[in-house]
A and B are shown apart, each in its own frame.
Chain A
Amino acid sequence: MQKGDSIGSTTIRLDRADLVRYAGASGDFNPIHWSESTARSVELPGVIAHGMLTMGAAVQLVTDWCGDPGRILDYQTRFTQMVPVPEDGGATLEVTGKVGAVDAEAGTARIDLTVTDPGNDGARVLTKAQAVVRVDQP
């Protein structure tokens, strides 16, 4: 394993039901994630996805790659673009990951994720999305 290696890619599809499901599971009932009128009243383009839903779904690529969610020691991101989720059609996000750094002494690798929204001119919705993973043989 070395810096720059790809860990693969995946696609996340989000619709309004996914937002309601995440609201219930997480306890985050901010109405901007389910009420069109509330979202527009605070100058948003419409209902948007929870940033934490995008963050939570994107890391699945890392879990699949390392084979054990318990190996993910640290995971961080900045939220740089909103993800509008229209009632018709929803949103689709593209996720790719690559090895950003390897620390042989610590037995860890840093995976850098790129998450883009093709429905918004390919805007990067997460920035500095990085997961530190325990690996057996870096």
Chain B
Amino acid sequence: MSVNPDLQGRSYPPTQPYAVGREKIREFAAAVKAGHPAHSDLEAARALGHADLVAPPTFAVVLAQRAEQAVVQDPDSGIDFSRVVHADERFTHHRPIVAGDELVATATVETVKSLGGHSMVTTRADIATTAGEPVSTVRSTLLVRGEE
């Protein structure tokens, strides 16, 4: 089974609102070994002009992967998750994510390409506040390995 080329251009409904909490930022920062005090110390974050604790630069992946689940789980997608390898990732931040944000992510399939039995699927997750303010754009390409 190969990836359905008709996925290209398809958009999915936004995720449920995600409340970004201080402890989640601290937990994620520890997991990526991000020791900067702006991730854990409120005074340090405020001294840099931020409203609250600042999420690490790759934290948006938590939101993006929730949105991408809709693509992978689309019964029409033809994507076998056990054969998926992460090929590339890009974060473009319109502003930093901080504790207290309430965010939604909307996934769109930008391209589907076939490469010698494999497929490359590039998705874009647009992350915004529930009030509609754009926060981050996350692009991710999955390589779906063809059957041997």
Contact = CB atoms under 8 A, between A and B. Distances in A.
A56 B62 contact: no
Contact of A27 (B33, B66, B95): B66
Interface residues of A, number: 35
A57 B36 contact: no
A75 B87 contact: no
Given A69-B38, A75-B58, A22 B32 contact: yes
A82 to B, nearest CB: 8
B67 to A, nearest CB: 12
Given A60-B36, A70-B50, A25 B90 contact: no
Interface in A10-31: 12, 18, 21-22, 24-28, 30
A74 B38 CA distance: 18
Nearest to A42: B82
Contacts of A75: 57-58, 90-91
Contact of A69 (B34, B62, B88, B89): B34
Contacts of A1: none
B139 to A, nearest CB: 8
